[in-house]
Amino acid sequence: MTDVTIRNVTKRYGALTVIPQLSFKIEDGEFVVLVGPSGCGKSTLLRMLAGLEEISGGDLLMGTEVINERPAKERDMAIVFQNYALYPHMTVAENMGFALKLRKRPRAEIDERVDKAAAILGLGKLLDRYPRALSGGQRQRVAMGRAIVRDPQVFLFDEPLSNLDAKLRVQMRAEIKALHQRLKITTVYVTHDQIEAMTMADKIVVMNEGRVEQMGTPLELYDRPANIFVAGFIGSPSMNFLPATVTTASSPVLKTPEGVELPIDAPQGLAGRAEVTYGIRPEHLQLGESGIPAEVVVVEPTGSETQLYVTVGGREVVAVLRDRVDVRPGQQIWLTPKAGCAHLFDPATGARITG
Amino acid sequence: MAISSRTNRTTRKLLWTLFWCVLAFVYLFPYTWMVLTGFRHGVDTISMPPRFIFEPTLAGFRHLFEVTGFQKYIINSAVVTILSVVLVIGVSAPAAYALAQISKRGGALLVAILVARIIPGIAIGVPVYLLATRLHQLDTYQALVIINVAVNIPFAIWLMRSFFMEVHPTLREAAISDGCSEWQVFTKIMLPLVLGGMLATSVFVFIAVWNEFLFALILTTSVSPTAPLAMLGFRTQYGVQWDAVGAAAFLVSTPVIVFAFIMQRYLVQGLTMGSVK
Ligand SMILES: Nc1ncnc2c1ncn2[C@@H]1O[C@H](COP(=O)(O)OP(=O)(O)OP(=O)(O)O)[C@@H](O)[C@H]1O
Ligand SMILES: [Mg+2]
């Protein structure tokens, strides 16, 4: 077990800079989830950690030791790939025991550790099967088993659940989380899935174009996104954004370019600003008697909630309501933002305006 | 309606069958004729009109082994071919793996390698002969083996590279992360997965070396001539000894056919690239 530090790491492929400069720390035993749009360098970072890809600059540390030059086999990190990468010519047991066999561990020890991991993952009956005779979920388990058997310092997961169907994904998500709570092994987990990120992470790192946009606990990112990018990335459906101009009479007033007034409760940080971006999450909008005037476009009841697609001064806005509502397309309604839930951003830099 | 579509299908089937029969005849007739020639008296072979019924004889084979000493040629061919195949595969497999999975610029190098293959053998015949003379390697096994290996490596690398490229690169990465050295990745992961392709490649190399004529002609005289050269001796001042030619051709072609037949499964598997998944 160890902590891992990424310090000013850069990565270039020839003239293409994939990671301009990246720094953050993964604490011992922590479950860190990396999220970010496709192509932002998540897999590249994971592969650099594993030692499968060279870093172009900066330092990687395990504990206090710089491991830039340490070959993959000595890093003691186990990586689980999206496509599982099981060895097709080996049985499940051989797949799982392969790393130990390479380290010339005694037969009895290998068997014992494979059996133990197989029991944890419910693979006991499948040990003599070949990967081609397994279902997707079973293959995924074997890939995890192969990592667990090694008892590594660090687990690296690259979208391990993305090839599974929705139901299995939920189940495996819970299992991985339970496994982490049991083994307490430092874990870096890459995913595209919002819910995976929110439910599994001790800490989420939001990446974009090879940079860290924000880092923090899931709820920190949800409650106080540092910029428009993070605000739009975390949460589903995404946060609504409306451009607004600030006019100050006795107190500041926000209006969209179409002249719709947007209610704000704590007008700090607006002094001296002419333009802001107003952000509000769909789930923080409620039907009310006052607030933001909107016209209903589409109503989508999903049973547990209702998604309302509306326009505010011609701009599309989504609201998610917990209650069944009786509105129909074309109707004029009022959407009331939940108190203290509006976010204000600087439209030029995208940064959050404190308040 | 149903009836007409059924007759349609029957005619189609009939036409295809006919087509394959014709094709089979075109391919098999010359070979069959050649084999028959080996079991016929020379006189029967050149008689006009050709005789399909004749009195079989082993005279051609007897001549081959008692007069020509054909066993020596066959042994030479076997030695040269087996050594060459082993060496070609031994060198090409790791190279193909490296070009497919490790090196990022493999493509360019491969083109360079393949260019070497395009040069016709006759163009390098004289330099090769001179080299062999200077190095006192004329009429030796090693000279023939080396030139055969050199000529066949580009093709073998190129073919095997396609098999290695079929293996998903994350397999190599998983193995490295599990603790494999590059060589262990090659032997423990890659080789078992591309075995079919490797066997297919060795069939092709086997056939190429076994049939090789030009360099055998240039580089050998009495000690290490290979089987194809034996044929030359049957064109005498009294005419061609057709029975011996037929017998020799039969004996030379048999190992190739048998080998290809045994490897048939791998050939198809290898060439359809379905060998890994
Ligand atoms: N070998 C390579 N040569 C050149 N560019 C590469 C190479 N590998 C990755 N890249 C580039 O690096 C960038 C980051 O790739 P990476 O695979 O890390 O993205 P990612 O965040 O994992 O995306 P995804 O979510 O789609 O998996 C991409 O723009 C990609 O095109
Ligand atoms: Mg990726």
Residue A122, both tokens: 């419910």
Residue B274 has pLDDT above 60, yes or no: no
ipTM comes to: 0.84
Residue A232, both tokens: 């739009």
In this prediction, residue B15 has a pLDDT band, given cuts at 50, 70 and 90, of very high
Query: Which of A96-110, A270-284, A316-330, B26-40 tops mean pLDDT?
Result: A96-110
pLDDT tens profile A146-202? 999 999 999 999 999 988 888 888 888 998 999 899 989 999 999 988 889 999 999
Residue B277 has pLDDT above 60, yes or no: no
Residue B77 has pLDDT above 60, yes or no: yes
Chain A residues with CB inside 8 Å of B170's CB? 81, 83, 85
Question: Chain A contact for B189, CB < 8 A?
Answer: yes
Residue B174 has pLDDT above 50, yes or no: yes
3-class DSSP assignment, residue B137: coil
**Could you tell me which chain A residue has the CA closest to the CA of B191?**
A89
Shortest CB distance from A102 goes to which of B174, B184, B193?
B184
- Does ligand 1 lie within 6 Å of residue A52's CB atom? no
CATH annotation of B71-236: 1.10.3720.10
- Residues B177, A77: C-beta atoms closer than 8 Å: yes
**Protein residue with its CA nearest to atom 22 in ligand 1:** A43
Residue identified by tokens 């592969």 is A47
pLDDT number for residue B52: 75
Chain B residues with CB inside 8 Å of A47's CB? 173
Once rounded to an integer, what is the mean pLDDT over residues B108-136?
A: 85
- Its pTM stands at 0.83
Query: What residue ranges of chain B are covered by domains with CATH 1.10.3720.10?
Result: 71-236
**Protein residue with its CA nearest to atom 18 in ligand 1:** A41
Question: For residue B186, what are the CA distances in angstroms to A194, B20, B176, B193?
Answer: 39, 42, 11, 10
- Residues A87, B170: C-beta atoms closer than 8 Å: no
3-class DSSP assignment, residue B103: coil
pLDDT tens profile A63-74? 999 999 999 989
Measured between alpha carbons, how far is B219 from A145 in angstroms, rounded to an integer? 59
